[in-house]
């Protein structure tokens, strides 16, 4: 699972195995150790209606409903997006999507990524 944070936007990208795990286990988590603290990011299935996101105790939790991800591992839907209004009236744009292979080799293992639709059109 990868995340990209830029300004007030957070983007999660999941490989095939991670999408399957999320659909089956209803939760997926990664952590990055920064010496004395872990930075944790997770996607969790809850009873929320739209995507929702929270940050607490060094953990970003992206919440999604079970009805939204139903059959996501087997259908062609790329992802989900939503703008979440924060308690101070600002918004955070959130995106959860399947991770596609890059069009150019970047030296990363992408064997578990989804085929890039743009490469199929070439």
Q: Give pLDDT tens digits for 65-109.
A: 999 999 999 998 999 999 999 889 999 999 999 886 655 666 676
121 pLDDT more than 60: no
Length of the chain: 122
- The rounded percent of the chain whose pLDDT value lies above 70 is 81
Q: What is the mean pLDDT of the chain?
A: 88
Beta carbons of 113 and 99 less than 8 angstroms apart: yes
Taking residue 24's Cβ as centre, other Cβ atoms within 10 Å add up to 10
In the numeric block, which tokens belong to residue 62?
């992206």
pLDDT score recorded for residue 120: 60
For 24-49, the DSSP string reads: HHSEEEEEEEETTEEEEEEEEEES-S
């Amino acid at each position: 699972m990868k995340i990209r944070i830029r300004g007030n936007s957070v983007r999660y990208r999941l490989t095939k195995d991670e999408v399957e795990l999320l659909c089956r286990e209803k939760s997926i988590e990664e952590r990055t150790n920064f010496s004395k603290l872990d930075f944790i990011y997770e996607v969790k299935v809850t009873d929320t209606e739209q995507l929702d996101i929270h940050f607490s105790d060094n953990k970003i939790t992206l919440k999604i409903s079970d009805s939204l991800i139903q059959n996501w591992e087997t259908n062609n839907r790329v992802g989900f997006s939503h703008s979440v209004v924060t308690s101070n009236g600002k918004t955070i744009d959130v995106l959860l999507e399947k991770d596609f292979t890059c069009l150019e080799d970047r030296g990363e293992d992408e064997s578990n990524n989804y085929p890039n639709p743009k490469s199929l059109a070439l």
